[in-house]
Structure 1
Amino acid sequence: MTTSSTILHLRVHRAGFETYRELFTVLGDTTPVAQALPPDSALLDLAGATRYFALTPAQLADRLQTRLAARYGLASTGGIGPNRMLATLAADAAAPGTVHVLPEAPAEWEQFLRGRPLRALPGIGPALERTLARYGIETVGDLADLPLATVQRIAGTSTGRLLHERAHGTDRRTVAPAGPPAALTSTHRFDRDVLDPAEIRRALLAAAIDLGARLRAARQIARTLELQVTYADRSSTTRSRTLREPTAHTPALQQVLYELFAALALQRARVRAVTVRVGELTAATQVAEQLTFDRLIEDARTLEPVIDQAGRRFGPGAVRPAALLGR
C-alpha cells in the first residue's frame, strides 16, 4: 500500500461523454498516471506530480478543480488517500465541490474507515451484505474485528481474504494509465431517488434514442451494450451484453436495455442514475444489415432517417415518443 496520501479520486459532475474524454488532456498535464472510471470519474496517482510541481496533493487537486471549472464550467468532487479504495471512500464522503483529504497517520484514517457501511468496500454487493448482516456485521469496523478464518468461513477463502485486507485499509490495486474506452455513453441522473420502474424505463428509452441517433450520425454501429444502475447509497450494478448483431437502431438498443433492466429484478431499490454505454464501435459500412420480417421493426428503421434529419434541423428531441413528452 502506498505510504502517503497521493491517490486522487476525482468525480466530475454532469460532464457529457465527449467532454469527459477531453478532460484527460487537462488531467494528463498534471500526471501521466490517470485512469478513466467512466462515466464521470478518474483516478490519479499524484506521487510524481507532487515532486515535479512542488505542491501538496491537496494543492494539486485544487489546481485541477480550478482548471476544469475555468475550461469547461464543471464542478468536481474529490478524495485523496493512500490507495485507490481509500481515495474513493474519501471522495464519497466529500461535500460537493470539495476534496476530502484523509490524514496520513494510519490510526486516523483507520478510524474513518471503521465507520463506513459495509457496502462502501469494493467487492461487497447486496447479497454478500445481507449474508454478513445475518451475523451482525454492519460496518467495516465490525468486519475488521473478525479473525481472518471467520471471514473466510462466511465469504469463502479468496473473497474472505480480500475483504479482510480491505477492512484493514489494504488495497493492492494500482492506478493503471488508461483513457476512456472507445464507446458512447448516455447518463440520466434523476432529480430525486426513483422507485417507479416505469420512470426508469422512460430514462432507458431516452438513452436508446440518444445513443442510436449519435451512432447513426457517426455512421457507426455497436457490438456491445452496458447498463449501469446507480443507487441512492452510490453503489451500483452493471450488466452488459454482446448484441446478436451490431446495430445503431434505437428499437434494438431499447429492447436489450429493457431486458437487462428486467433481469436485475430490483425490488424497492432507490435508483439515483442510469448510465448506458455502447462499445466495440465499427463503421456501419463494414457490416451487412440483416433484414427482418417484423413490420414494426422495419417501420421504425424507415422512420429513423426522418427523425435524425428533424433532430439535425430543429435540435435533439424535436421528434420523440409520446412516453417522453414532458421530459
Structure 2
Amino acid sequence: MTTTGSPTAILHLRFHRAGFETYRELFTVLGDITPVVQALPPDGALLDLSGATRYFKQSPAQLADRLQTRLAARYGLVSTGGIGPNRMLATLAADAATPGTVRVLPGDPAERERFLRGRPVRALPGVGPALERSLVRYGIGTVGDLADLPPATVQRIAGTSTGRLLHERAHGTDRRTVRPAGPPATITSARRFERDVLDPAEVRRALLAAATDLGARLRVARQVARTVELQVTYADRSTTTRSRTLREPTAHTPALQEALYGLFAALGLQRARVRTVTARVGELTAAVGTAEQLTFDRAVENARTLEPVLDSAGRRFGLGTVRPATLLARRMFTRS
C-alpha cells in the first residue's frame, strides 16, 4: 500500500435527511474547521483535515466529533463519516461506518491493507455495474483478488488506462485531491400541503406546480438545468430524497414535470402521508448555445411553443399569473 511523505487526513461525511437548504447552510459549519471542503451533492462532503489538525492541535477523530456535535446541535443532523489518508480510503471507511459514527482507518499500513483487501471490488471508485460483472466473471470479487493480479492482466480485462487506475487503487493509491467547492447553484421550489395527503393525484398536482415554477424561473434567468431532485417530507417529518440526471439540459416545464413524476413514482409510496414536496434543479448553465433535441410528441412541442407566451405574461403581470388549468382548482397546498 502506497503512503506519502507528509500525513494527510481526509474526512468523508454523509448527512442523513438533510434538506436542500440545510445542506447548503451546513457548509458554513464545515468551513469553520477547514477551508478545504468539497461538496458531494446531495448529502455528502469531503474535508482535508491535514492543516486543521495542526491549527487546532486535535486529532482527525476529535475534529470529526466536533463537527458532528455542531451539526447535531445547530441542524439536528445525524452524520456518518470515515477518515483515511486519501479520498478513496476515507470513502470506504465511511461506507463501513455504523450510522452516526466516524470510522478511522488505522495508521499502520498493513492494517489498512487488510481492511482494503476485504472490501468488494465494486467499492472501488471507477468500478460500475458493467465492469464489476466483467471482473466477477474472472473470479475477481474482492479488492484483494484484484490486487493480486499482475497489472497487465487487469489492463487486459478493463482496458489500458482503466486497468492501470484500478491496479493503483487496489493497492490503496488514490491521486485525487479534495478540491474546495461549495454546493452548486440551484433553484428550489417547495409546496406544503394544508393537511397531510394520501392521494397521489394531489402530490402530482403539487409537482406540476413546482415544475411550472422552476421552468419559468430558469427561462427568466436564461439558464438550463441538467439535474432534478425531489425531496418528500412525511407527516412524521422524515424525508426521502431522490435525484435524476436529464438526458439533456433543459428549461422546459414538460421535461421537468416528467422527471419529477418519475422520481415520485419510483418511491412506490403506499399509504404514506405527505406533508411537503420540494423540487430542485441543479447543474445550471447558460441557455445560449445549448442544443435542443427535437421530439415528435405534439403535446410536448405545443407546450414548448406556448412557453414564450406564458413567459411574456409572467414578465408583465408576475410569475405564476398564467398556469395550467388543473392548478386553477381549489388549492390544497401553499408555496414555501
User: Normalized against structure 2, the TM-score is what?
Assistant: 0.69
Q: Which 10-residue stretch deviates more, 217-226 or 173-182? A: 217-226
Q: Which residue of 2 aligns with 1:303?
A: 323
Q: Which residue of 2 aligns with 1:225?
A: 226
Residue 20 of structure 1 aligns to a residue whose secondary structure is: helix
**1:246 CA drift (Å):** 2.8
**Contiguous gaps of at least 5 residues in structure 1:** 187-198, 230-235, 261-274, 284-290, 318-327
Q: Which residue of 1 aligns with 2:316?
A: none
Q: State the one-letter code of the partner of 1:280.
A: L
Distance 2:50 2:56 in 1: 11
Larger Rg: 1 or 2? 2
Residue 175 of structure 1 aligns to a residue whose secondary structure is: coil
Q: State the one-letter code of the partner of 1:224.
A: A
Q: Tell whether 2:81 aligns with 1:75.
A: no
Percentage of matched positions with identical amino acids: 62
Q: Which residue of 1 aligns with 2:283?
A: 279
Q: Which residue of 2 aligns with 1:320?
A: none
Distance 1:205 1:127 in 2: 38
1:207-237 deviation per Cα after TM superposition (whole angstroms, max 9, x unaligned): 77645545657965641222689xxxxxx99
**1:307 CA drift (Å):** 4.0
Distance 2:43 2:303 in 1: 39
Distance 2:76 2:335 in 1: 22
Distance 1:241 1:149 in 2: 36
**Contiguous gaps of at least 5 residues in structure 2:** 190-199, 231-241, 264-278, 288-298, 311-321
Q: Which residue of 1 aligns with 2:302?
A: 294
User: Closer, same or farther in 2 for the Cα pair 1:224/1:150, shift >3 Å?
Assistant: same
Q: Where in structure 2 are the equivalents of 1:49-60 lying within 5 Å?
A: 49-60=52-63
Q: Tell whether 2:254 aligns with 1:246.
A: no
1:22-58 deviation per Cα after TM superposition (whole angstroms, max 9, x unaligned): 1111111100000011111000000000010011000
Q: Tell whether 2:71 aligns with 1:65.
A: no
User: Closer, same or farther in 2 for the Cα pair 1:129/1:184, shift >3 Å?
Assistant: farther
Q: Where in structure 2 are the equivalents of 1:1-327 lying within 5 Å?
A: 2=4, 4=7, 6-184=9-187, 210=210, 212-213=212-213, 216=216, 220=221, 222-226=223-227, 239-243=245-249, 246-247=251-252, 249=253, 251-255=254-258, 277-280=281-284, 294=302, 302-304=322-324, 307=327, 314-315=333-334
Distance 1:309 1:4 in 2: 63
Q: Which 10-residue stretch deviates more, 302-311 or 18-27? A: 302-311
**1:240 CA drift (Å):** 4.0
Distance 2:183 2:147 in 1: 35
CA contact (8 A) 1:76 1:98 kept: yes
**1:16 CA drift (Å):** 1.4
Q: State the one-letter code of the partner of 1:6.
A: A
Distance 2:12 2:124 in 1: 15
User: Closer, same or farther in 2 for the Cα pair 1:293/1:178, shift >3 Å?
Assistant: closer
Q: State the one-letter code of the partner of 1:52.
A: Y
**1:104 CA drift (Å):** 1.2
Which 4+ runs in 1 deviate beyond 6 A?
Answer: 202-208, 257-260, 308-311
Q: Which residue of 1 aligns with 2:194?
A: none
Distance 2:243 2:139 in 1: 24
**1:4 CA drift (Å):** 3.5
1:56-99 deviation per Cα after TM superposition (whole angstroms, max 9, x unaligned): 00000000011111111111110000000000010111111100
Distance 1:58 1:90 in 2: 13
1:257-292 deviation per Cα after TM superposition (whole angstroms, max 9, x unaligned): 7899xxxxxxxxxxxxxx974332679xxxxxxx97
**1:14 CA drift (Å):** 1.1
* Root-mean-square deviation (Å): 4.0
CA contact (8 A) 2:36 2:47 kept: yes
